Amino acid sequence: MDTVNSIKFTMPSLSVNESAARAVVSSFIIQCDPTVEELSDIRTAVSEAVTNAVVHAYRGTVGNIELTVKLLKDREIYIKVRDRGCGIADVEKAMEPLFTTAPEEERSGLGFSVMSSFMDKLKVNSAAGKGTVVTMRKRLAAHGD
C-alpha cells in the first residue's frame, strides 16, 4: 500500500460521534479536491460503518472505534473502521440487503449495501467476541476527468 498521507483517530462508540467521524473524514480528503458526489459517497459509507459499530458492536455498552483514513497513490482513498465489540457471527448473512438485528431501532439492514454501492471495494473481517474490521476503497476521478 503506497500511502501518501494518513490520519487515525479513536472515538468512543457514542452515536453523537457519527457526525464527528464524517467531519474528520471530510476534512482529511478535501486535500484531494474530490467532487461533491465523491465526498458525499465517502461520508455516507463512513457514517454507515461507524453506525454499525455504535449500534451492533457495542450494543448497550461503550467501546472504542478506530477510524483510519489514507490517501494512496493515484487518488485512491482507503478507509478502515475497527471495533473490538461483539463481532459478527455470520458476515455473509449480515451483508445481505435488508438483514438487520435491530429492527426496533428502524435499522433498514442496508448499511453494507450502501457501503458497497458508494465505494469501489468493501471488505469485512469479523470474529465473534473479538470485533470487526471494515475496509473500503474508492478511487477519485483524476483532475480534469
Partner 1 sequence: MKVDIRNENGGAVAAITGEIDHHSARTARSELDRYIINTQPRTLAIDMGGITFMDSSGIGLIMGRSKLMKECGGRLEVRNAQPYIKRVLKLAGVERIVKIT
Residue 99 DSSP symbol? -
Choosing from 1, 16, 60, 143, the residue that interacts with partner 1 (CB under 8 A) is 16
Catalytic-residue membership of 107: yes
From the list 4, 31, 40, 127, which residue makes contact with partner 1 (rule: CB under 8 A)? 40
**Alpha carbon distance 102, 69 (integer Å):** 28
CB nearer partner 1, residue 5 or residue 27? 27
E strand map for the chain: 3-12, 64-72, 76-83, 121-127, 131-139
Residue 5 or 37: which CB sits closer to partner 1?
37
- Residue 61-90 contact track with partner 1, rule CB under 8 A, x = bound: ------------------------------
Question: Is 104 known to be catalytic?
Answer: no
- How far, in Å, CA of 78 to CA of 68, rounded? 8
> Looking up cell 458497497, which residue turns up?
116
Q: Which residues are catalytic?
A: 48, 52, 107
